[in-house]
Structure 1
Amino acid sequence: MTLAPPQVRGRLTAGALLAPLVWFKSGGAAEWLFEPADVADLQDFLRALDPAVPVKPLGLGSNLIVRDGGLPGVTVRLGKGFSGVDVTGDRLVAGAGTPGILLASTARDHGLAGLEFMRGIPGTVGGAVRMNAGAYGRETADVLVDATVVLRSGEQRVIDLDALGFTYRHSDLPDDAIVVAAGFRGTPGDKTAITAEMDRIAAEREASQPLRSRTGGSTFKNPPGHKAWALVDAAGCRGLTVGGAQVSEKHTNFLINTGTATSADIEALGEEVRARVKAQSGIELEWEIQRVGTPK
């Protein structure tokens, strides 16, 4: 694909390797990778881009499988210009590139409770909004006020919580809409208690999840009335491998790249787990990890 964009103030790279940018450390290249300097740079770029060219936002790559054939079109990665949190009263406004842990820490520093669970979200604010990320009994919809997005046309729009269509691990945002900021509301609380809750979440994650492995976070959604990890375990999948991909021995709702896995290995392992769970329990697990791009 040839690209004739206007002069950008950010960085535009052809054939950029994506494996170093995602947690699984696997997958193909982006046809084009655009890292805008700021919101205006992103808007100008999208306005000038052929509407037929697909656009895909990329956060920290924590909940993502990029297939081995790579991503066609333009992959947009928001960097430092989109990270940071402003606090006024009980309201926090965070750039989409802000890690969940920074949002939680900023809320704590201002004595605002309710966002402690974001300490357990391994991605960015943008990703949390897009998939209504949650952990430890809470989810993004519980604390979100609104989201600022840039549409494929380059138009910027603020969308209120009620219009985002949040359900469990889902929003109604169009695939090519790019979250650039989000507003949250906390509840005044005791800093010591907030800190203790964040420490508890951090310790629980360390004890129960393979955080030091090449993984993508929770692989499957919890079906109503069930825990995905328990269904996977009951189906005998703990430690199951396909190529260089393995079901974690520590937490069976995590898949791991042991070092040589392709994205095809990881996705095939996930599908094998789904098949075994369906055969054993009759329950069809849904992917929570997003799978994008083309096979090799």
Structure 2
Amino acid sequence: MTSELLRYTLQVALISFMLGSLADVGLKLDVRDAWTALHDKDFVVPSLLSGFVLGPILAIVIARLLALPEPYAVGLLLLGLAPCAPFMPMLSDIAKGDAAYSAAFIVIAALGTILLMPIALPLFAPDLHAGAGTIARPLLLLILAPFGVGIAVRQLSKRWADRCDPIIRKLVSFSTAVLLSVAFLQNWDQILSAIGTWAIAAQFIYYCALALCSYAVSFRLPHEKRGVVTIGVCTRNVGAALAPLSAVANADQRSTTMCILAAFITLIVGFAVAKILGRLAPKRDLAINAR
């Protein structure tokens, strides 16, 4: 009975977290600024390469080099196909990134995840036994729908969007606390068993490698755009990674554990990278931001 209650609570908290966090991002997204940034091919190309080519490849390479058990490797691949955490704009501000380009990266990441994950996951993780339709449905419902609703509300009334934002943010904070607490209670034995593997180390290595590689790939961009690409790529959308697992019957619990661990690890690495990028920002950019 307790186990069933925890599982049900976890599902409700996950859905609330995803719906709320993506709606909140949409409520704050300035479509005109994002649209302008999306026309900057010097920004879009490294964003796509870093997010959807380097991301999955590094996940597969690191999983094989460290000989991760298959369920942990599947979890890492799911994370590799889901760049850009919902809290990415906050970290981008710390890194002195451009807000318009942060909005553009969120759009790229959301659409890229929805399009690529249903195609790539069955190819690289056949043991998951999930078809493209099974993977796509929760992504459309839990990413595209709330994201689109948030954008639509802001387009209809910026005043209402600003009023709804703090309410949604509180809901997301509560859902996050419940999600992490219940996930730990339900999976504490799996989390402890992961300590004896390379699962945790693999994630730290992976996010740090993503930060370095994305920073190198975007070398032609000025700091305020380069920082956006780096932060967007080295943080992971844990909800999007968990969504396909919630739709697959009898998914290995260790894959879920790998994604849950990411909620902590991607924030730690992302914050550290943002602080470093903030210090690397040219003084000219710092002076502009100070105004």
Q: TM-score, normalised by structure 1?
A: 0.22
The structure whose residues are more often helix, as a share, is 2
Larger-gyration structure (1/2): 1
The structure whose residues are more often strand, as a share, is 1
Q: TM-score, normalised by structure 2?
A: 0.23
